[in-house]
Amino acid sequence: VTAVISGAGQSRIGRRLGRSALDLVVEAAQAAIVDAGLTRDDIDGLSTYPGLQMWPPGFSDVGAQEVMTALGLRLSWFSGGSEAAAQIGSVITAAHAVEAGAARHVLCFRVVTAGSRRRQADLPAPTHVSGVQQWTHTYGRSPANWIGALAQRHFHEYGTTREQLGAIALTDRRHAGLNPAAIYRDPLSMDDYLSSRMISTPLTVLDCDVPVDGATAFIVSIGDAGADLRRPGVVIEAVGSAIHSAFSYDQFPDLQHLPAHDAARAMWSGTDASPADVDVACVYDGMSWLAMIWLEALGFCGPGESGAYVEGGARIALDGELPFNPHGGQLSAGRLHGYGFLHEAYVQLRGEGGERQVAGDPQLAVVSTGGGPFAGCMLLRSA
């Protein structure tokens, strides 16, 4: 892959900002364009996930169409949609677009306003579902049910414990304490975790991410765009968007052959680097257990070993062998929905993490996004 991430930006992030999604995207996009050293006239591509969606409220209130108009862009290429390798799939698509010569500088964005609009009573619930959703969305009321059942199976097969799972939430929270933009920053103890309110076994409220308002944007540029840019871009070393089993929350061979495993294998096949070379891991934790299975899929531990790997949290601490979610993940820094992990990897590789900066000048970062059938990952190398 010969694409780089030349700029990144975020809007203000909060539980209830009361601002429009479009306003948040414009703030993040302008920050990313300035960070890259470009102007709006340089942006000739636009990519987003998942595009405009009416349900659930605040999931994606604006798509590419409104944003290109608001920013007055003159585009050679654009794309937006949810049928992609999870949220980061929209950035992978942008990388392929610049490699193919379809555009030179692609603005990628993801916006959520689920914090302000979380009272779902505001809109009537859908009365029917179709496609693959009919097989799962008819049953259960939340991803906590679908992901909870996968976690329960992991507990059954491998002896994973709640204390082990709790290491994800505790580590995120400890790191969020160092991130001024995080939502929840107060320390969390294992007793707090074990006594927290159960949502759907084995997942408690602390295993579920926090709905927020906020937008994240990146500029994906062609690798030889150096002269256009303020500074060399962070290199997209390899991407993973493979999926080999059914697109489904319940049809997969077993817990070691999920779409996450396909995506991770494809990513590693595109690089000489190996998991031992990774300096910082930004791993999707929309539900805590998803981070556990990503750690296995990405090869940081063996099949079924993620419980023992994260137990106690030392290994995945900022000064551990695999610094994990320095920003606090979606559990503590808010559901920026996938893009937050890529943003943090970029910040860390730029050395701009402030108090939460991983020591030793990190060179290689892995980013994973998605859960269930949604899976996409990326390996980034510092400029």
Partner 1 sequence: VRPEVVSGAGTLYSYSHNVHDWTGDGETFIYALAELDEQPGLRISAYLRGGSPEHVRIGMPVRVDFEPQDGIWFPVLRPAEGKAS
Choose, by CB under 8 A, the member of 20, 145, 256, 271 that binds partner 1: 145
- Among residues 151 and 336, whose Cβ is nearest to partner 1? 151
Choose, by CB under 8 A, the member of 140, 226, 312, 320 that binds partner 1: 140
DSSP three-state, residue 4: strand
Could you tell me how many helices (H) and strands (E) the chain has, helices first?
12, 11
Q: How many CB atoms lie within 10 A of CB 129?
A: 12
For position 119 contacting partner 1 by CB under 8 A, the verdict is no
Instruction: Provide the token pair at 116.
Output: 């302000």
**Taking Cα atoms as reference points, which of 67, 137, 106, 58 lies closest to residue 373?**
137
Amino acid, single-letter form, for residue 246:
A
Minimum separation from the CB atom of position 261 to partner 1 (A):
15
Choose, by CB under 8 A, the member of 253, 302, 351, 360 that binds partner 1: 253
d(CA 27, CA 99): 27
Instruction: Compute the chain's Rg from CA coordinates.
Output: 19
Scan residues 154-213 and list those touching partner 1 (CB under 8 A): 156, 197-203, 205
Minimum separation from the CB atom of position 153 to partner 1 (A):
4
Choose, by CB under 8 A, the member of 39, 142, 269, 274 that binds partner 1: 142
Minimum separation from the CB atom of position 141 to partner 1 (A):
4
Kindly indicate which of the ranges 12-20, 36-44, 151-159, 375-383 contains the residues binding partner 1, using the contact rule CB under 8 A: 151-159
**Taking Cα atoms as reference points, which of 102, 94, 98, 112 lies closest to residue 46?**
94
Alpha helices (runs of H) in the chain, residue ranges in sequence order: 21-36, 64-71, 89-99, 133-136, 143-158, 162-176, 190-194, 259-268, 288-297, 306-310, 329-333, 339-350
- Among residues 254 and 321, whose Cβ is nearest to partner 1? 254
- Among residues 136 and 363, whose Cβ is nearest to partner 1? 136
Choose, by CB under 8 A, the member of 14, 15, 132, 135 that binds partner 1: 135
**Taking Cα atoms as reference points, which of 220, 153, 176 lies closest to residue 353?**
176
Instruction: Provide the token pair at 91.
Output: 């950035």
For position 55 contacting partner 1 by CB under 8 A, the verdict is no
Q: How far is CA 343 from the centre of its chain?
A: 9
- Among residues 252 and 324, whose Cβ is nearest to partner 1? 252
For position 129 contacting partner 1 by CB under 8 A, the verdict is no
- Give the number of residues in contact with partner 1, rule: CB under 8 A: 31
For position 130 contacting partner 1 by CB under 8 A, the verdict is no
Minimum separation from the CB atom of position 29 to partner 1 (A):
35
For position 144 contacting partner 1 by CB under 8 A, the verdict is yes
Query: Interface with partner 1 by CB under 8 A: which residues?
Result: 135-136, 138-142, 144-146, 148-153, 156, 197-203, 205, 249-254
